[in-house]
Amino acid sequence: MFLKGWGVSSSAYQIEGGWNADGKGPSFWDTFTQKHGSIPANANGDVACDSYHRLDEDFYMLRALRVKSYRFSLSWSRIFPDGRRTSLNQKGVDYYNRLIDGLLVYNITPMVTLYHWDLPQALQDLGGWDNVEMINIFNDFCDFCFAIFGNRVKFWMTFNQPHTIAWSGYGLGQIPPNVKNPGIAPYRVAHNLIKAHAKAYHTYNDKYRKSQGGLVSIALNADWIEPKDVHVPREVVAADRALQFQLGWFAHPIFKNGDYPDAMKWQVGNKSELQGLTETRLPSFTEEEKSFIKGTADVFCVNHYTTKIVSHATLRLAPQSYEYDWDLSEAEEGESPTTAISKQRAVAWGLRRLLNWIKEEYGDPEIYITENGVATDSKTTWDDSARVFYYKTYVDEALKAYDLDGVKLKGYIATSLMDSFEWLNGYKVGFGLHHVDFTNPNRPRTPKYSAHFYYQVIKDNAHQ
């Protein structure tokens, strides 16, 4: 199968700890989680897996798994404590140099995410991603990282799940910066994120690609969306519309024509008119911006966890909401196993269908599955047979897409290397192939059944 493509993932805020160590500045996740009551059991990432102080233990796990790649993210506020180059923290740079160099010693490819949700608090104080100035500020951070790490890092992702940043952060208000403006802010923020991604891509292209020869992409998230009744045309149209609103929101501009999907433009425009607005709530790109955005990814990176069933529904006009703009109702795939996260059932067959949809929709790109995994209760220590079943079935569907359907699948990244801080779930659930004892100050790591299973998958290249 993928030969060099098997890996595992993590992200800075979820595992590093050392939240204020050696000159690191606060991110808005530090600010949010340190407020009493934000997260179950008042959990936070102050220490987490303590990977900032335990790199050798992480290397040991990665070597034992025999992974070919390791996806991790850079903490912006560890490198630039106030988000700007003028605040450079050399000890933060040193940490990532040790991490990157250590991976290369063991022939593990670093796959680096430049932004995995942990914005420096100082930049949120300026308005965060709702401020167009962030496009240039982010580009300067990326430029620095390309210059310092790019001689060794050959696989970059600008953003992890921009959909989550825009919708959960600025629509639902569940994650920092906790803005609840569901009808307008998510569209405005997504617009800035797309332009920020494109600018960083062009910076790499213009300044570094010739000498460094790496890849640049963006990690998008997508459920598979299955119509409730495949024989009813408007249900099929509703399912496609849902995919366009979730995945196409970012993929259509980047991989197709530099602009939003027609389904989005029509839906939001029509709803806006019915709401009595003089213009659509969906921002528009200029022709120059469309040309600048189109084609700004070298490979297609997708995070996938579950499948939803949808049917057409005419939703209300008030309040204004990205969610209501879809005009559909959503349900779980009721016959599939539940997981420790509600509405995230294990529906393996959806992965193959999603990969084929991406192949057809976006011109048969090379695809990396950059996150795939399942949450179990944190009480699960080593016996995680449910996770083994999940990986067995999902990897099998990925193989079918590759072997039978001709999908250009280049890599599969299991989520995650070890149990870690799981955002709004705190430490109640874990995605890890390794258990971490968060009650022990040494944070000992123990392989679960799934670690042994995944080792065998890699060893056999999935063809058991």
* 16, 371, 397, 422: the active-site residue: 371
Q: How many CA atoms lie within 13 A of 153 on its CB side?
A: 29
Q: How far apart are CA 143 and CA 332, in angstroms?
A: 42
The whole-angstrom separation of Cα 204 and Cα 142 is 9
Question: How many whole angstroms separate alpha carbon 243 and alpha carbon 148?
Answer: 37
Q: How far is CA 217 from CA 194, 205, 212, 297, in A?
A: 12, 12, 15, 4
How many angstroms from the chain centroid is the CA of residue 91? 26
H/E segment holding residue 167:
helix 162-170
Residue for token digits 């102080």?
A: 53
User: Is 226 tagged catalytic?
Assistant: no
Q: Pull the structure tokens for residue 114.
A: 């430049």
Q: How many CB atoms lie within 10 A of CB 39?
A: 22
Rg (CA), the chain: 21
Q: Token pair for residue 29?
A: 């996740």
**Other CB atoms within 10 Å distance of the CB of residue 127:** 12
| Spatial CB neighbours of 17, under 8 Å, sequence gap ≥ 6 | 45, 46, 47, 48, 49, 50, 51, 52, 53
Distance CA 368, CA 214 (A): 15
Of 162, 76, 176, nearest to 125 by C-alpha is 176
What positions carry a catalytic annotation? 371
